[in-house]
Amino acid sequence: MTSDCVLARNPYFSFMKKICFLLVVLGFIAVTNLSYSQSPKKLFDGETFQGWEGDTTRTWQIEDGALVGGSLSETVPHNNFLVTTQPYEDFVLRLKFKLLGDEGFINAGVQFHSRRLDDPTYEMIGYQADLGKDYWASLYDESRRRKTLAAPDSALVAKLLKPNAWNDYEIRTQDGRIQLWLNGELTVDYTEPDENILQSGYIGLQIHGGGKAKVFYKDIMLEELP
């Protein structure tokens, strides 16, 4: 009997072959999953409006590496959105924001799974990660159900929020589950009960109408999920 035959009949050798095969399969699965995951990418290059569309003449400007909407000297006449040219589905969106103003309705927000309306053309429909007094870090349904879908406790917001300064905002959406974080703390964990509501669409940065307000957005990073 050859040494090869002895090894083939050895139970330990057979067991190790199975383990090695299993490791190869698991490794292949891991590599396959990694291939579907995408590295975070910048949605804003800090210098141009490339990848965005909107009123970049009067409403939206670029200042010190940030996208800036609104005015502190003139009342914003109506809601206005700067919108990505590409739609997205499941993702994690991270950005920094700062909201200024003390006259009129001071509000802004980040639209997602949204689209522009035909009438009025300046409005959007879809989910909004809201910003502003009584709305901080809450989930609002813009132009559809027109109501807050989920909101954090006001005491939590008071602890987390940095008024008139830069704050971190994170939006995670996957398979109908939406989570929001303000400065690293979870504020909303919502699962959409209506299967007819589309879970994909454009991302839009909002400045709300009705106030002398100015909103700043920067460090906008998006990681698409498999």
Question: CA gyration radius for the chain?
Answer: 24
At 66, give phi and psi (nearest 5°). -130, 150
Per-residue pLDDT band at 16 (split at 50, 70, 90): low
Whether the per-residue pLDDT at 85 is higher than 70: the answer is yes
Minimum mean pLDDT range among 1-10, 136-145, 171-180:
1-10
The per-residue pLDDT for range 19-39, each reduced to its tens digit, is 545 454 445 444 444 445 579
Whether the per-residue pLDDT at 91 is higher than 60: the answer is yes
Q: Cα(97)–Cα(131) distance, rounded to whole angstroms?
A: 9
Q: Cα(11)–Cα(160) distance, rounded to whole angstroms?
A: 61
Minimum mean pLDDT range among 14-23, 87-96, 154-163, 179-188:
14-23
Over range 62-81, report the average pLDDT.
Answer: 98
Whether the per-residue pLDDT at 191 is higher than 90: the answer is yes
The answer for residues whose C-beta is within 8 angstroms of residue 90's C-beta and 6 or more apart is 173, 174, 175, 199, 224, 225, 226
Whether the per-residue pLDDT at 149 is higher than 70: the answer is yes
| Whole-Å CA distances, 32 to 25, 27, 68, 127, 166 | 11, 9, 40, 32, 38
| Whole-Å CA distances, 5 to 13, 28, 152 | 11, 30, 68
Minimum mean pLDDT range among 2-6, 118-122, 145-149, 215-219:
2-6
The mean of the pLDDT values for the chain is 90
pLDDT at position 45 is: 98
Contact criterion met (CB below 8 Å) for 126 and 113: yes
Q: Which two tokens stand for residue 86?
A: 């590409």
pLDDT at position 9 is: 58
pLDDT at position 38 is: 75
pTM strictly above 0.75: yes
Over range 63-81, report the average pLDDT.
Answer: 98
Reported as half-sphere exposure (CB side, CA atoms, 13 A), residue 120 has a value of 6
Per-residue pLDDT band at 139 (split at 50, 70, 90): very high
Q: Give percent above pLDDT 70 in the chain.
A: 84
Contact criterion met (CB below 8 Å) for 117 and 143: yes
Q: Is 76 helix (H, G, I), strand (E, B) or coil?
A: coil
Q: Cα(94)–Cα(180) distance, rounded to whole angstroms?
A: 10
pLDDT at position 2 is: 53
CATH of domain 41-224: 2.60.120.560
Q: Which two tokens stand for residue 64?
A: 């010190």
